[in-house]
Structure 1
């Protein structure tokens, strides 16, 4: 069965975001490639100036089965970052304590708290928010609200 990993795009602050996520999830970075690391290829045009110092790819493991990866968007390649709420990363926690700890760390300096961590009809604890880097998250602890 295939695994699903989230791939996140940033507007020049990917390195800073992943340093933050490393602290939140108490994990180490698996490696980072910058656009500057790409070897020159005479059959391709040189890198656009706005690629210098930006992250081409980075990744961390949240657990054995889940990774988040990311990169900076480079407009010189014809890409543009569009932030929106069409996608959330949903973290389904094993305990209420885990939900509380992750919510507290990950929502620090959040751009938008849509719903603070609280009990709902479908979860003992649930929250949704946009973090300080523009990424949308949901924290969920189902607890005693299991669906039949």
Structure 2
């Protein structure tokens, strides 16, 4: 079966976001390529200020889950539009893990839709938009398992 990984796009602050995510998940970055590392292409002129932007970066959250990201370059027709069409859901194994992830990821959150708390479907659940505009859900099912 295929694995699902999250690929996040940013408007020039991918490196800052991934430094934050490395701290949250206590994982090292596995590599970063910048737009300036790409071979020159006469069809796509790269502005000098875009050369240091991140073309691709990643961290392994666990052995089967990777979080990847890139800055968007408007000159390439890319534009960030933050919204709630996609969330990254972290399904935790313990209540403490849910509490720790919520405390770390919600630091300076733009929007807290639902603070971490008990719901009829989960012992702990939260939904929010982090300081970089990425939407997250944190879930610990605990004793609320569906029958």
Could you tell me which residue of structure 1 aligns to residue 15 of structure 2? 15
Q: Distance in 2 between matches of 1:94 and 1:11?
A: 33
Distance (whole Å) between structure 1 residues aligned to residue 93 and residue 107 of structure 2:
21
Q: Please say if 1:93 is aligned against 2:92.
A: yes
TM-score, length of structure 2 as denominator length: 0.96
Shift of the alpha carbon at 1:45? 4.0
Task: Give CA deviations for 1:81-136 in whole Å, capped at 9, x if unaligned.
Answer: 11110000000000000000000000000000000000000000000000000000
Unaligned 5+ runs, structure 1? none
Whole-angstrom distance in 2 between the partners of 1:88 and 1:50: 30
- Moved beyond 4 Å, runs of 4+: none
Q: State the shift of 1:71 in Å.
A: 0.2
Say which SS state the counterpart of residue 9 (structure 2) adopts. strand
Mapped partners of 1:73, 1:39: distance in 2: 18
* Residue pairs, 1:98-137, within 5 angstroms: 98-137=97-136
Partner of 1:5: 5
Work out the CA distance in 1 between the residues paired with 2:5 and 2:40: 30
Residue 49 of structure 1 deviates from its aligned partner by: 3.9
Aligned length: 147
TM-score normalised according to structure 1 size: 0.96
